[in-house]
Amino acid sequence: MAEYHEYYKGKRILVTGGAGAIGSRLVRHLTDAGASMVMILDNLSSGYRWNLPAAPNMLLVEGDVIDEIRLKRVFVERPQVVFHLAAFFANQNSVDHPESDLSTNGLGTLRLLEYANLVGIERFVYASSGCSIYGSAAPLPLREEFMSMNLTSPYQITKMLGELYCNFFFNHHRLPVVKTRFFNSYGPGEVPGQYRNVIPNFIYWALQQRPLPITGTGEETRDFTYVEDIVDGLMRAGYFEAAIGQEMNLASGTETVIGNLARDINALTGNTAGTTASVRRKWDTKSRLLASVERARSLIGYTPNTPFDTGLKNTVQWFRDNWENIRGSASFPPGMSSAVRPTDAMGVSPTPRSPQTR
């Protein structure tokens, strides 16, 4: 076992949002590493019990990150490491529900930091979003030094706000925080839905022989990062001393063209329905996304090494293996899916939108 995995053996760990796409994969690695207890604080708004491992050293506390009773419940266990992944996800959701976004991503993050500071912890790892916080005018590849005041959705603002709160707790209280900036995570564990990322949504349509809706020209690029590579970066960020107080991209460092992605997914799934064009979302102002991973490489030895075609194949396989659960959980408004659900994940009647939301 690698040294930075070994470190988690016998530790008490809190993962907020641990039932979500990335959190559920992180929880697997932490329980496998022999943590004495991996607590999950999750309100299951976009996370699923069936997505969690059946591990004896895992405890799911169902509740909100702003709920003081739930926070006391998890912090009374004195977690040594906190991975804060719970978030109101993502851009379009925040445009539709800006106050819920602020509540979870803003107040929720502040409360987590307050409790972590109160009990004293070894490390607080914050899940920030590199796709969000650099704005659209940053030179490529995106580097950590760049700052933007031109963020285009409430989600982008509150993911940045979370980083600013982390900076405050680091500078003022010397809380050992690390800010990890993810780029377009994809892989096993992410259930498709109205507000989810393009890859799970494309696979979901493709497996039902439906055309893949491309918002924009199809020439846009994204830095798709396999979830296991992100989780590896998180495990490293929770361990290496050099990470403390720093912000760093966790990305693949490669660009994929959305039109090619659609073609590959259709080929992998045998979907002959092709693609359709739909209008670009107003907040979606970035035509290209490509991150530098140099800082994470030098500070924590981060090396994303999953080839995109391997990651995509694994993801399609995960869909096939979990199809009934996925179909039962995928949440789309009427007209967007055969799996029509009356309400979206937050219990609010949704309006039809493009499924390629992020």
Ligand X SMILES: NC(=O)c1ccc[n+]([C@@H]2O[C@H](COP(=O)([O-])OP(=O)(O)OC[C@H]3O[C@@H](n4cnc5c(N)ncnc54)[C@H](O)[C@@H]3O)[C@@H](O)[C@H]2O)c1
Catalog residues that contact ligand X under the rule CB under 6 A: 17, 19-23, 41-47, 64-65, 85-89, 104, 108, 127, 129, 131, 159, 182, 184-185, 197
User: From CA 337, how far away is CA 206, in angstroms rounded?
Assistant: 12
- Cβ–Cβ under 8 Å, residues 220 and 167: no
Residue 37: name the closest of 4, 70, 82 by CA. Answer: 82
Neighbours of 307 (CB within 10 A): 12
Nearer to ligand X, 43 or 322 (CB): 43
Nearer to ligand X, 1 or 114 (CB): 114
Q: How far is the CB of 46 from ligand X (least distance, A)?
A: 4
Residue 295: name the closest of 303, 284, 305 by CA. Answer: 303
Q: How far is the CB of 305 from ligand X (least distance, A)?
A: 18
User: From CA 191, how far away is CA 195, in angstroms rounded?
Assistant: 10
Nearer to ligand X, 189 or 213 (CB): 189
User: From CA 358, how far away is CA 87, in angstroms rounded?
Assistant: 13
| Cβ-based neighbours of 256, under 8 Å, separated by 6 or more | 221, 222, 223, 224, 308
- Angle among Cα 179, 181, 183 to the nearest 5 degrees reads 165
Task: Supply the residues annotated as catalytic.
Answer: 155
Nearer to ligand X, 107 or 140 (CB): 107
Q: How far is the CB of 48 from ligand X (least distance, A)?
A: 8
For 114, 124, 260, the CA distances from 109, given in Å and listed in that order, are 9, 11, 37
Q: How far is the CB of 289 from ligand X (least distance, A)?
A: 11
Nearer to ligand X, 34 or 104 (CB): 104
Nearer to ligand X, 1 or 281 (CB): 281
For 185, 199, 202, 250, the CA distances from 286, given in Å and listed in that order, are 17, 17, 20, 18
- Cβ–Cβ under 8 Å, residues 208 and 141: no
Element (H, E) at 212: strand 212-215
Q: How far is the CB of 123 from ligand X (least distance, A)?
A: 17
Residue 289: name the closest of 179, 159, 140 by CA. Answer: 140
Nearer to ligand X, 1 or 343 (CB): 343
Q: How far is the CB of 140 from ligand X (least distance, A)?
A: 17
- Cβ–Cβ under 8 Å, residues 188 and 250: no
- Cβ–Cβ under 8 Å, residues 204 and 149: no
Q: How far is the CB of 45 from ligand X (least distance, A)?
A: 4
Q: Helices in the chain by DSSP H: which ranges?
A: 3-6, 21-32, 68-75, 91-96, 98-101, 109-119, 130-133, 154-173, 198-206, 227-237, 258-269, 294-300, 308-321, 323-329
Task: State the greatest distance between any 2 C-alpha atoms of the chain, in Å, as a whole number.
Answer: 57
